[in-house]
Amino acid sequence: MTKLTTARMKELASKHAIVLVLAGLVLFTGLFESSFFSTDNLGNILRISSIRIIIALGVGGVLITRGTDLSAGHTAGLCACIAASLMQRADYATKMFPHLPYLPVVVAIAAALAVGLLVGLFNGLVVAFLRVPPFITTLGTMVIVMGVAGLYVDRPPQGAIPIGGLRDDFTSLGTGSWGPFPTVIVIAAMMIFLYWLMLNWMRLGKNTYAIGGNPEAAKVSGVNVSWNLVIVYMLGGVSYAVAGVLLAARSGGATNNYGNMYELDAIAAAVIGGVSTAGGIGTVSGMLTGVLIFQVMDNGLSSLGVSPYWQLIAKGIIIISAVAIDIRKYNSRK
């Protein structure tokens, strides 16, 4: 009976290791930093995590297909700039479009979503039909998007002036509340549910796992691999656009540097959360846990006064370790 119980406990610990890591990290940080469990601090962690999980969902879906998306962060930044430029107050001194009429918030959101969708479509078409490896494709797209964002905000002779003076009805998306819950968290919860629904109950989700598990077998079984890949990348682009809108709304502005390094954090969080770099494996709950682990770590180490450079080193070690463990698991399954 004891052996059975021990084996069962080991099985549970292995299955829920990532959750146990998060719980241990929370307890450790709270033990050494009393303010960690304050309502304001926990709320801040959840708000920041909400934007990052939306990006991680898009990246995670691509990773499951054996792909990657290095353009995610800068796509979010470009979408933030576009939405912000359409939502500036009429009396703002350095308004980007001085003669732009009053626009409903939904117009700015739609414009950002359209741009994110186009970036995702471009990535998907190049990967699926030109057969360019996802790493190279999205690296090139990242550079293109960086250039587009720079050109968009560049106003000679002043240069790239930050976009500020955003309207209250827009910034409420990032700072307001729906009842007792912050709006940004509610939107993130909706995105989490939609991705969970897609991956677990829709044909697209089943095809996504099939493609990541074995593209050739998926093709033989009747899956249109190319167009399913295009759709997954497009969904990723939409996710980055949603995150960009919320990023601009929460900060009250945008610059062409917004979203920098967000793609690496998203990839790292997804991998830490159990999304296999070999494809075919990954869950929404794992991605969420991975994002929370990194955010709790960032918050806790900053509260303890640890240098941000040491934080980067620690994050890098965790990423390498997670991928190494994932590769060992993959090799053991072969």
Per-residue pLDDT tens digits for 81-96: 999 999 999 989 888 8
Q: At residue 44, what is the residue type?
A: N
C-alpha to C-alpha distance for 73 and 234, rounded to whole angstroms: 15
Q: Please answer whether residues 145 and 116 qualify as being in contact, where contact means their C-beta atoms are separated by less than 8 angstroms.
A: no
Residue 88 DSSP label? B
Confidence of residue 206 (pLDDT cuts 50, 70, 90): very high
| Residue 267: count of CB within 10 angstroms of its CB | 26
Alpha-carbon distance of 307 to 122, in angstroms, equals 39
| pLDDT tens-place string over residues 95-107 | 889 889 999 999 9
Alpha-carbon torsion angle 135, 139, 140, 141, nearest 10: 100
Whether the Cβ atoms of residue 73 and residue 58 lie closer than 8 Å to each other: no
Closest CA to 92 of 171, 205, 177: 171
Residue type for position 333: R
Q: Burial of 103 by CB count in 10 Å (0-12 exposed, 13-18 middle, 19+ buried)?
A: middle
How confident is residue 5, by pLDDT bands cut at 50, 70 and 90? low
For residues 247 and 87, is the Cβ–Cβ distance under 8 A? Answer: no
CB 55, CB 72: distance < 8 Å: yes
Residue found by looking up tokens 């827009």 in the block: 170
CA trace torsion 119, 121, 122, 123 (10° rounding): 90
Answer whether residue 312 shows pLDDT above 90: no
Higher pLDDT, 137 or 179: 137
Contact (CB, 8 A) for 316 and 267: no
pLDDT band at 124 (very low <50, low <70, confident <90, very high): very high
Which pLDDT score, from 0 to 100, does residue 231 have?
A: 97
Residue 39 has pLDDT above 90, yes or no: no
Helix (H) or strand (E) holding 54: helix 39-64
Give the position of tokens 């549970």.
Answer: 12
| The one-letter amino acid at 264 | L
Give residue for tokens 């469990």. Answer: 37
Higher confidence at residue 61 or residue 272? 61
Rounded to the nearest 10 degrees, how much is the dihedral formed by the CA atoms of 194, 195, 196, 201?
Answer: 80
Q: For residue 234, what pLDDT is reported?
A: 98
Between CA 75 and CA 65 the distance in angstroms is 20
pLDDT for the residue 7: 60
pTM of structure = 0.91
Mean pLDDT of all residues in 6-29 = 66
Rounded to a whole number of angstroms, the CA Rg of the chain reads: 21
Short-list 52, 45, 16, 42, CA closest to 191: 52
Indicate the residue type of 242.
Answer: V
Q: What is the pLDDT of residue 1?
A: 46
